[in-house]
A and B are shown apart, each in its own frame.
Chain A
């Protein structure tokens, strides 16, 4: 459904942002795009939705070429940017103006999401705080029922209860023909939502793997001392002993700790990446 092949991108030729990115995304899944600050997560998303044009390579999204920015394509893609400005009008008016551009827009879903977020429908946008405005925008983005939803740091600027509400809203709105890509460095907020992890590093996607297959190959454990287990790949000191990532030899069903996995990949690339080479 979404396929990037040998995609290169740079703002200027001396500083490459993305080099030889290959990516295949399928519908009905939530992807977590992880990477350090400034590694090009946003640029990758912008390339997928046609805001930036690849300097070489192919990019095909839902059968369209994003850089053409065909309205038929843009109706199927919705981006939640990290920074945004809302126009000075009421929520009602906002919906009346913007929703008709999206043929699959569902008012019921929008109302539902607003309700989950606890935002009164009759508000005017400038009267809302920035976090609340973001929630309106998240609700709108999901209600467009676009087949590709890109969210750039969606939980930035949301308080702790809102992050819960955000998880509820996402869990309730994923459709079978829809892919959601969430870029984040606040992994903890979202790790129960994500189906598949994408890690962007050194200008390319170094890992794309479903959580279930990560836990098949690696086990995540808490141990009192490091001698207790066979040599782990990566460990972090925790309050009670250590949290370790080790090769999963006994088919354990452990819960993946996404933050630890990310740290493990960042520090022990050579040991972890070969496990997932297909």
Chain B
């Protein structure tokens, strides 16, 4: 591990200087699009631009745009001439990684949040005073932002890893990378759970049917139990992990993002031409 704060700052400065025009234009374009969309909602919705809509929009666009931004953070590794110059620069992989981390995990979400609230604040003023819709201005005081941001932060390490891994069509490939494991995982989860339930079926009292209902890995397994000759609805049971064991799996889950961060670092360190 080789880290110098001085080089980290130099690299950060360079990141801004080289991409300055791109960033400024990006922010301007984003603000423009947001304003157009928000004014449209405020003027055309029956109740203007509502608090819940502001919150939903924020959570969704935040996640989407941060992922887009994340896939572009190692753009200079994409073309051969820029790649040579980037790799020959005397910085360590850890410094490069730290700059990317700071940009993607911290700076972009903060900047986007500010831009969003600036726009939504402006629209809210118009909404309330001109269009007379009594809507509250959403300022991270809703119910879903914690959950959305947590999911985002858990996804971003994978995005960062993909940004190093894929040189071309990074965004498309990243989206596939994010979706495919989820699909595969949920498929296997239900198949495995069904196998577990079917396995247990022979031990059921005579006439009683067990069938699989739902499950979340490392958390619970819901089973529907149908008893014959009883005129009631089938009952469902949740098989839960004991609370004392749950944290082990939570910890395991929390380590996955760090694993991806580490993989991204390794991948960055062994970049060749």
Contact = CB atoms under 8 A, between A and B. Distances in A.
Determine if chain A interacts with chain B: yes
Interface stretch (A15-23, A68-76, A113-121, A171-179): A68-76
A196 to B, nearest CB: 24
A199 B4 CA distance: 40
Contact of B88 (A74, A85, A89): A74
A234 interface: no
A87 B14 CA distance: 10
Contacts of B269: 69
Nearest to B90: A74
A63 interface: no
Interface in B55-103: 79-82, 84-85, 87-93, 95
Contacts of B168: none
A78 interface: yes
Given A71-B91, A75-B90, A97-B14, A85 B272 contact: no
A70 B17 contact: no
Contact of B84 (A51, A53, A75, A93): A51
Contacts of A72: 90
A83 B17 contact: no
B147 interface: no
A101 B90 contact: yes
B89 A101 contact: yes
Contacts of B92: 69-71
Quick one: which of A51, A71, A102 has the most chain B CB within 10 A?
Answer: A71
Interface string A71-104: 1111101110101110111000100011011100
Contacts of A52: 272-273
A88 B21 CA distance: 9
A51 B85 CA distance: 10
Contacts, number: 68
Interface residues of A, number: 29
Contact of A87 (B10, B18, B87, B93): B18
Nearest to A93: B17
Interface residues of B, number: 27
A73 B90 CA distance: 8
Contacts of A84: 81, 84-85
Interface string A196-233: 00000000000000000000000000000000000000
A101 B87 contact: no
A166 interface: no
Contact of A71 (B2, B79, B80, B85): B2
A70 B2 contact: yes
Interface in A108-163: none
A70 B87 CA distance: 11
B85 A81 contact: yes
Contacts of B93: 69
Contact of B7 (A53, A81, A87, A101): A101
Given A81-B81, A84-B84, A71 B272 contact: no
A182 interface: no
A49 interface: yes
B81 A85 contact: yes
Given A52-B273, A70-B2, A93-B17, A101 B84 contact: no
Contact of A101 (B81, B91, B273): B91
List the 7 shortest-distance A-B pairs measured between CB atoms, nearest first.
A74-B90, A75-B90, A71-B90, A51-B273, A83-B81, A85-B81, A87-B18
Interface of A: 46, 49-53, 69-75, 77-79, 81, 83-85, 87-89, 93, 97-98, 100-102
